[in-house]
Structure 1
Amino acid sequence: MSAQPVDRPEAPGDDLPADFALPRTAPSNVLDRFVRWVGRVTSWIWVILVAVIVLQVVLRYFFNMGSIQLEELQWHIYAIGFILGLSYCMVEDRHVRVDVVAERLRPKKRAWIELFGLVFMLLPFLVTILLQSIPYIETSFIQNERSAAPGGLPYRWILKSFIFWGFLLLILAAVARLLRCTAMLFGVPRPIWPKE
């Protein structure tokens, strides 16, 4: 028995371009839920970043004490928050897009474009970066890499390891999106349309 494409229930004006909404699926919901959870936990890193910045400003301007470690810690926190936040943006569909052409297309055509972009562009790029990050992190760990600045932070490999974790999360978010595309186009996995 072959899977047949599943159409969304017809709605008035369904033949016109509308807001692009892919159906959810059980597996994509699991992946999206995990990425959202990581995103919510990671969002607290911005509070820590603000505290570090305030501490550095107070030390510098009130006590005339500069700290290279605090300055580097700011960059590290920002880098971690940014790279882990990318997957959250993808799940929430808040990432940058150029939809000048796609916004005029019907939902199924947009789903085909999305599918093509995920399979032939985004996922190969993400997997390449993920695989290339492993020797990069390993070398940093073996060399016990630290900051080149005098008095800078040690254990640079910890920061570099977030390249791996950030891109792994992006792969999970991209797979969830891919499953939603295949659900719309082919009915696999079974689509779950929002109740209207």
Structure 2
Amino acid sequence: MDKLLKLSKFIDTCNERIGRWTSWLVLVMVILGVWNVAGRYIGRFTGSNLTSNAYIEAQWYIFDLVFLLGAAYTLKHNEHVRVDVFYSNLSGKKKAIADLFGTVFFLIPFSIMVIIFSWDSIIASWQTWETSPDPGGLARYPIKTMIIVAFVLLIFQGISEAIKNVAIIQGKLQPQGENHDTGL
């Protein structure tokens, strides 16, 4: 179990770094969005074109990256949306069992299915060097590739969470939020 917990820690560290890096993209996206709006109005006033389809699409792509790359980070921090009607009243071990069940039977199979069903579309996009149909638009194949990257990261984080949940069930790891150390 110790080797698996080390693997879990490595996965957590990787997704933590990716998540923190990705969080900076929110600032870039906002700045780009402000420029797109301001450039449109300033451009009308000055009679010149200060924005383009590429800037607008870049803003969309950055949002896609934040959403896709943030998924594993969000799972790591247990911030995904869930129905808490029963879950919030469960003990730490029962929460670990519920999370393990959800990870093994829903999260990982769903992520694998997304990869399988998107694979052909992504390969076709690379084969044709797919670009936006809008004038001056960006290439589509790199952002489509991020679908696979994101769901692979999500699978890895699911594996990490499963390892930690098994350790909690076995009593080798304490559930988060249940610190029984009184500090005395």
TM-score (norm 1): 0.79
Distance in 1 between residues matched to 2:97 and 2:30, nearest whole Å: 42
Q: How does 1:51-130 map to 2 (within 5 A)?
A: 51-64=31-44, 65=49, 66-130=51-115
1:185 aligns with 2:169: yes
- 2-structure distance, mates of 1:106, 1:88: 24
Structure 1: gaps (5+ residues):
4-23
Gaps of 5+ in 2: none
Partner of 1:10: none
Verify: 1:28 aligned to 2:8, yes or no.
Answer: yes
SS in 2 for 1:128: helix
1:28 and 1:113 map into 2 onto residues whose CA distance is: 19
AA matched with 1:162 = M
On the 8 A contact 2:168/2:174 being kept in 1, the answer is: no
Length, aligned pairs only: 171
Q: Residue 124 of structure 2 aligns with which residue? A: 139
Aligned mate of 2:141, from 146, 157, 175: 157
Q: Where is the helix percentage greater, Structure 1 or Structure 2?
A: 2
Quote the Cα distance in structure 1 between the aligned partners of 2:11 and 2:174: 15
Residues 56-100 of structure 1: CA deviation (Å, up to 9, x unaligned): 122211122342221111111111111101111110111111121
* TM value normalised by structure 2: 0.84
Instruction: Read off the aligned partner of 2:150 and give its amino acid letter.
Output: G
